[in-house]
Structure 1
Amino acid sequence: MLDIKRLESSDSNFWPLMKELLAWDNVSDDSVQSTVKQILADVRREGDKALVKYTNKFDRMNAADMSVLEISPARLQQALDGLPDDQRHALEVSVERVQRYHDKQKMESWSYTESDGTLLGQQVTALDRVGLYVPGGQAAYPSSVLMNAIPAKVAGVKELIMVVPTPDGQINELVFAAAAITGVDKVFSVGGAQAVAALAYGTESVPQVDKIVGPGNIYVATAKGMVFGTVGIDMIAGPSEILVICDGKTDPDWIAMDLFSQAEHDEDAQPILISPDAAFLDKVQASIERLLGEMERKDIIRVSLNERAAIIHVKDMDEAIEVCNYIAPEHLELSVDEPQSFLPKIRHAGAIFMGRYTAEALGDYCAGPNHVLPTSRTARFSSALGVYDFQKRSSLIMCSEDGASELGKIASVMARGEGLTAHARSAEYRIKSSD
């Protein structure tokens, strides 16, 4: 039985209901926090020994040491070579498209020289080593390998270390193949908070990285939050989201399936549909009821729809965009005529899929843009993962003698105003005497 929330923007309590609908507490409880803290401490102190212990415990493995858990390049290549032709082709096309898109994001160093000879600029360098966390077991996502590894490689990251759990020895050949085709340097079959700890602190076998990227469960997310500062992280992601804005002219079955495409991720995923056409919303509801039984993951979809979904009726498309900007969705589908005309009004969205033919699912795999996107309204202040997340910027300053003299006068006044005499005198030493 489905009980999807129906909201009317004209109701007096609409905005409080929206706030309640979008509320998501992704903070782990005390038990998770305590467990993760202990795991991090053990791996930091005992290295490989603790990593093997926790891997055997949580992933039901029987590894004697880390040599069993390191996946050789030959094994990764074997996975790639052994793919069926259709999977190999799909993987190659996806890699080519994702790389082509991300090639355009790469930042370059720049500088300019002022009239007195002072040089100012910015030097762009890649991170040295990055850790990629990839979910394993039944929830294995080769697309996650592509979306994290490719922008890192485009940025010029020297070494990419991948960790992927293989619970009960369960291996996803596509994940290994994706690691091979994207040039991942080292792969370890470990996961959970212990894998995050190994990447953050380093062990005898796992090199310490500078940044950890990639999705995981609540233990992984909690661990990433705890090690932030020791290493960088991409984000703490919440459940997947999709917002579809439709003018009522798209096939309702298409829209229903687009909503399913996110709901099937997990029970906490949030699919939302907005339209000014009330009759169309009823048609989509009927499509949902009729199509749900065909879905392999119908039980997961049903919980998502009942617990977190919403169908929202608005007075017009302007109000639909207003609600959209409040939601700040991870994925936004504009299933409307002339979707590009709406872009100037959309301020907050992780990725925007325009037109009736652009299913969000294309962006998950092969369109080109990154599918690692801000969730839980964080698109208000953050963006998709990209090449720039794997590059750093160093400011460049080289003063000429004349430039140092003139800037020193300004710096002296500012520094003495702040009571920092050493700052002032350091600048004043470079001021040319007026003889």
Structure 2
Amino acid sequence: MSENIMRIIDLRGQNLSRAELLAAMPRAAMGTSEATDLVRPILDDVKERGAAALRDFEEKFDHVRPKNLRVPVEAIKDALTTLDPEVRAAIEESVRRARAVAANQVPKDFYTDLAEGARVAERWIPIQRVGLYVPGGKAVYPSSVIMNAVPAQAAGVESLAIATPPARDNEEGLPNKTILATCAILGVDEVYAVGGAQAIAMFAYGAKGSEPQDGDILCDPVDKITGPGNIFVATAKSLVSAFVGIDAVAGPTEIGIIADETANPSLLAADLIGQAEHDELAGSVLFTDSTEIADKVQESLKYRVPRTEHAERVHTSLSGTQSAIVLTDGLDQSIDAANAYAAEHLEIQTKDADAVVKRIKNAGAIFRGPYSPVPLGDYMSGSNHVLPTGGTARFAAGLGVHTFMKPVEVIEYDEEGLKALAARINAFAVSEDLPAHGECVLSRFVKDPYDKATLREQEKEAGLR
């Protein structure tokens, strides 16, 4: 009998503290110091030389030197006309569902009246300009165009730009045609054939032109950058985040599954493989209190992994330290472990899935039942697949309309509203040794807020006390 593919983490019989449970969870080792050393010079060069640096880096990393870094609008339109009708129908349905969900996500403005003439309102304001990154690499991701652009459009973002690497088989240095066609379907026409850390630099700093077709300014800087990418993209986003917004610093993708004895082990194996296909560092974790389920999943993996197209990549991912079958004493411990793991995607395949869903506190997205697998969310469910990774679902949420908006409070007090609080504001300010704060308010009601000897009397005369 061949060896099992996935390692076992056995939590049975252990009463673990929160810290011990967090430490027991499988994680990919992510060293970023080397990436930082490589990425920082790229950022600096793009900031200094603009489009000239972008062309050099595209030639170096993507092995093509695009003539047009900004994709001509005609090329975007042409990509749609040649798109396979079945693929187009799938993309359009995905867009339709994503837009329906996004429309309901738009936050509402509100106000609170605290007293007569005293109101605090909150307005949700769209971010003005956003750069959306769509990765290349081991696969093509038109779905990432949808997941980024649809909520941004629903939020009311005025200016959307997309950057994605040029296709290596395209002599003109244009991006993948399916990605361009998806941009056309969404009505996005500012698209750049730029990938990697250099794309993040272009969005963060803007880029001056270097050839006539670029114009004086190739790309204006953005206010926020969103979208997934490899470790170099993630590192670049982290480095520029001091002065431009980012959605998150994403790590390798991951799936967690809570399963009991009622789950179908063949489906569990298929779902683990589906996520492992992304990347050798992808994490796949099964939480179960059933040794029978664990054994059957291992056997199913031995049968299925060699038969899938990317078998070597999948095997590397499933056998890595970031993946495991976690054995527990029962459903309660499975739920506790899953909350500690805080999976990007968490499937629930148990007898009473609803009861389990109610107890999940940490997950990027929850997939309830055997007919809600992760790929449904990747492409067509209407939910967003840009989700927190690496345990960050303990404090972070996935991409949504809220990502592209900012709440701004509007303070609306009239004279009487401020007058009722003026003396108290002054007392508060004095207690913090910030007397000018109080004097600022008192200046609206008394003659000389700096005359502390008579101030109390002035406050009384003004009706502040």
Q: Which piece of structure 1 moves more, 321-330 or 5-14?
A: 5-14
Partner Cα separation in structure 1 for residue 333 and residue 259 of structure 2 = 12
Match of 1:286 in 2: 299
Match of 1:336 in 2: 350
Distance of 1:359 and 1:389 partners within structure 2: 25
* 1:111-131 C-alpha deviation (Å, 9 max, x unpaired): 244442223101211011100
Distance 2:116 2:106 in 1: 31
Correspondence 1:155 to 2:155: yes
User: Is 2:132 the partner of 1:129?
Assistant: no
Aligned to 2:206: 202
TM-score by length of 1: 0.94
- Deviation for aligned residue 1:172: 2.1
Distance 1:340-1:104 versus aligned 2 partners, 3 A rule: same
SS of residue paired to 2:287:
strand
State the secondary structure of the residue aligned to 1:177.
helix
What is aligned with 1:38? 41
**Count of equivalent residues:** 431
Tell me how far apart the structure 1 counterparts of residues 259 and 443 of structure 2 sit (CA, whole Å). Answer: 66
Give SS of 1:96's match: helix
- Rounded Cα–Cα distance in structure 2 between residues aligned with 1:223 and 1:406: 50
1:102 is matched with which residue?
102
| Runs (5+) with no aligned partner, structure 1 | none
Query: In the TM superposition, what are the counterparts of 1:235-274 in structure 2 within 5 Å?
Result: 235-274=248-287
1:6 corresponds to: 8
Instruction: Give the superposed CA RMSD.
Output: 1.9
Q: Secondary structure at the match of 1:26?
A: coil
Tell me, in whole angstroms, the C-alpha distance in 2 between the residues paired with 1:57 and 1:355: 46
2:422 aligned residue (381, 390, 408): 408
Q: Does structure 2 retain, via aligned residues, the 8 Å contact 1:338–1:355?
A: no
1:22-421 aligned within 5 A? 22-30=26-34, 32-63=35-66, 68-136=68-136, 138-170=138-170, 171-203=175-207, 204-307=217-320, 308-421=322-435
Question: 2 CA distance for matches of 1:362 and 1:248?
Answer: 24
AA aligned to 1:59 is: D
SS across alignment from 2:161? strand
User: How far apart are residue 177 of structure 1 and its match?
Assistant: 1.2
SS of the residue 1:140 aligns to: coil
Determine the C-alpha separation between the residues in 2 that align with 1:130 and 1:8. 45
Aligned equivalent of 1:434: 463
Q: Is the 8 A contact 1:9 1:315 kept in 2?
A: yes
Q: Which moved more, 1:77-86 or 1:232-241?
A: 77-86
- The Cα offsets for residues 277-314 of structure 1, whole Å up to 9 and x where unpaired, read as 21121111111111111100110110111113211222
Instruction: Measure, in 1, the Cα distance between the counterparts of 2:406 and 2:78.
Output: 35
Deviation at 1:14, TM superposition (A): 7.5
Query: Aligned in 2, Cα 1:113/1:124: closer, same or farther, shift over 3 Å?
Result: same
Letter aligned with residue 206 of structure 2: G
SS in 2 for 1:161: strand
SS at match of 2:346: strand
User: What amino acid is aligned across from residue 197 of structure 1 in structure 2?
Assistant: A
- The farther-off stretch of 214-223 and 114-123 is 114-123
TM-score (norm 2): 0.88
Q: Distance between the aligned counterparts of 1:115 and 1:434, measured in 2?
A: 17
- In 1, the alpha carbon distance for the partners of 2:256 and 2:9 equals 14
Quote the offset at 1:132 in angstroms: 0.7
Question: What percent of counterpart residues are identical?
Answer: 38
CA-CA distance at 1:4 after TM superposition: 1.6
List gaps (5 residues or longer) in structure 2.
208-216, 447-461
Structure number with bigger Rg: 2
Could you tell me how far apart the structure 2 residues matched to 1:140 and 1:356 are? 27
Work out the CA distance in 2 between the residues paired with 1:298 and 1:11: 35
Q: Name the CA distance, whole Å, in 1 between partners of 2:29 and 2:420.
A: 53
1-structure distance, mates of 2:155, 2:389: 24
